[in-house]
């Protein structure tokens, strides 16, 4: 029986490769993408694999209003979702603002997905067994939860890596908190570090840095296989609140397991998005 699987940022990198694996296995994949031109190309490429159905929804995580609009479209179009893969993400070399004035990593990598997930949760609950998968990163070890820095204008001394790491810590804390909230329900929430993957993520790095980093990169097919297992395997059906990894032992930081911190992040974030729910 084909599953309905929604992937954010599915027009490139890990998201596209994961979509490919899932379409090849005959599943119905919804690509939720910002860049429609690139997404149309990805859709055609996936349809040529000739098996699972492929749909496209425009999603720009850079704006809470647009996230809400895209989620409403999904709610109207589908009666359930079996798997939600929160994959889209970016690294921003310079301090940048979302449309709502949030620091870009916080706003796009975390807060947009936070709103998206809360809005789509009712559709996952309508699945026989819903699964939510969050793309975190080993970079979460460098992260902090500092609500005063959520607004871009409060980041006077911006440094790229801890800022990205913080958004990946936020993804993991959200996954862990959701897992406790969903305990005993038909929906699970798990996260992963996909490894250091050769994708467009590093496009903003200076060339010499990219050359250095690229020596250690693995192909997107590796995390795509792990995500496929997390999405479909019977062995993952009952796993909830886990952190998996392709490359390294899956050690997550003490901070990422702090459910009090996760609840604080949830409460602050809920306040920021509640008018869009």
Ligand X SMILES: NC(=O)c1ccc[n+]([C@@H]2O[C@H](COP(=O)([O-])OP(=O)(O)OC[C@H]3O[C@@H](n4cnc5c(N)ncnc54)[C@H](OP(=O)(O)O)[C@@H]3O)[C@@H](O)[C@H]2O)c1
Residues at the contact surface with ligand X, assessed by CB under 6 A: 9, 11-15, 33-35, 38, 59-62, 87-90, 108, 135, 137, 193-194, 196-197, 199-201
Q: Where are the beta strands (DSSP E) in 35-172?
A: 54-58, 83-86, 130-135
Smallest separation (angstroms) from ligand X to the CB of 156:
24
Q: Let me know the angle formed at the C-alpha of 15 by 9 and 17, rounded to the nearest 5 degrees.
A: 145
Task: Please identify, using beta-carbon distances, which residue of 131 and 168 lies nearer to ligand X.
Answer: 168
Query: Among this protein's residues, is 243 annotated catalytic?
Result: no
Considering the candidates 78, 102, 158, 164, report the single residue annotated as catalytic: 164
Smallest separation (angstroms) from ligand X to the CB of 33:
6
Which residues make beta-bridge pairs with 193? 245
Task: Please identify, using beta-carbon distances, which residue of 131 and 193 lies nearer to ligand X.
Answer: 193
Distance CA 247, CA 155 (A): 32
Smallest separation (angstroms) from ligand X to the CB of 63:
8
CB atoms within 10 A of CB 37: 9
Task: Please identify, using beta-carbon distances, which residue of 40 and 258 lies nearer to ligand X.
Answer: 40
CB 227 within 8 A of CB 193: no
Smallest separation (angstroms) from ligand X to the CB of 146:
19
Which residues make beta-bridge pairs with 30? 6, 55
Which distant-in-sequence residues (6+ apart) come within 8 Å of 265 by Cβ?
A: 145, 170, 173, 174, 177
Which residue has 């989620």 as its token pair? 71
Task: Please identify, using beta-carbon distances, which residue of 38 and 257 lies nearer to ligand X.
Answer: 38
Q: What positions carry a catalytic annotation?
A: 164
């Amino acid at each position: 029986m084909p599953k309905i699987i929604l992937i954010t940022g599915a027009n490139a990198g890990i998201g596209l490769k994961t979509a490919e694996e899932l379409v090849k296995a005959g599943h119905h994949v919804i690509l939720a993408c910002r860049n429609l031109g690139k997404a149309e190309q990805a859709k055609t490429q996936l349809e040529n694999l000739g098996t699972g159905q492929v749909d496209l929804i425009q999603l720009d995580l850079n704006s809470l209003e647009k996230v809400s609009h895209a989620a409403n479209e999904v709610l109207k179009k589908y009666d359930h979702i079996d798997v939600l893969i929160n994959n889209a993400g970016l690294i921003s070399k310079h301090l940048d603002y979302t449309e709502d004035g949030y620091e870009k990593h916080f706003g796009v990598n975390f807060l947009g997905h936070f709103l998206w997930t809360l809005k789509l949760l009712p559709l996952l609950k309508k699945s026989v067994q819903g699964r939510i998968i969050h793309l975190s990163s080993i970079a979460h070890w460098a992260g902090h939860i500092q609500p005063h820095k959520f607004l871009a204008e409060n980041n006077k001394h911006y440094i790229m890596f801890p800022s990205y790491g913080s958004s990946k810590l936020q993804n993991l804390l959200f996954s862990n908190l959701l897992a406790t909230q969903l305990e005993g329900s038909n929906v699970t929430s798990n996260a992963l570090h996909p490894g250091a993957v050769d994708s467009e993520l590093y496009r903003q790095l200076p060339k010499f840095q990219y050359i250095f980093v690229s020596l250690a990169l693995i192909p997107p097919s590796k995390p795509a296989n792990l995500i496929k297992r997390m999405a479909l395997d019977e062995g993952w059906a009952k796993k909830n609140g886990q952190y998996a990894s392709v490359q390294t032992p899956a050690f997550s930081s003490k901070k990422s397991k702090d459910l009090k911190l996760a609840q604080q992040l949830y409460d602050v974030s809920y306040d920021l998005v509640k008018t869009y729910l």
